[in-house]
A and B are shown apart, each in its own frame.
Chain A
Amino acid sequence: DTEVTQTPKHLVMGMTNKKSLKCEQHMGHRAMYWYKQKAKKPPELMFVYSYEKLSINESVPSRFSPECPNSSLLNLHLHALQPEDSALYLCASSHPGDQPQHFGDGTRLSIL
């Protein structure tokens, strides 16, 4: 088990559904990240929040909408996803600055 908790662990949804992924950490980290990982590929950065403000959006389609309600929580709202969005979605957190990122176990998302 990691110190970054992601829920749900698995999610299957249709292309017209709306769902949310949740990430929580209690390490006092002020930077939080969403990554997408396809099979046999490295993680690809999607979004970075620093001190609850969005600091990086890697040109992610608007059907993915991040939200950082407080310093411990990070959500990823999903709407009208495509089959190619099926992947492992990883959340990470770190102290801003020269500190390693710590990853959650991810949510395995399947789009039907």
Chain B
Amino acid sequence: GAGVSQSPSNKVTEKGKDVELRCDPISGHTALYWYRQSLGQGLEFLIYFQGNSAPDKSGLPSDRFSAERTGGSVSTLTIQRTQQEDSAVYLCASSSARGLSGNTIYFGEGSWLTVV
């Protein structure tokens, strides 16, 4: 597609429920990133994919968070047993090749998650 597409754009869920957030990167982009933007913490790195593997998942805040990428394209971020502190905007980004040094990463508009 023309840009990074994320769905849903808005999600309200009850505490304790599981949620799945989807990211469709720019066609042909091999690198994919998930970030979280919240009022108290700013922008935080969650996980980085190169193809289908995740060389860096050091930013996942707990074992309730997981992410996968299939076919080197679409990625899903899953949050199990959601808590109120999970409320944030979840941003996905993609890049055409390995390495931030030479490549611009393009961000989607985010999925707004509210846990009530």
| A and B associate in one complex | no
Which chain A residues have a beta carbon within 8 Å of chain B's beta carbons?
none
Which chain B residues have a beta carbon within 8 Å of chain A's beta carbons?
none
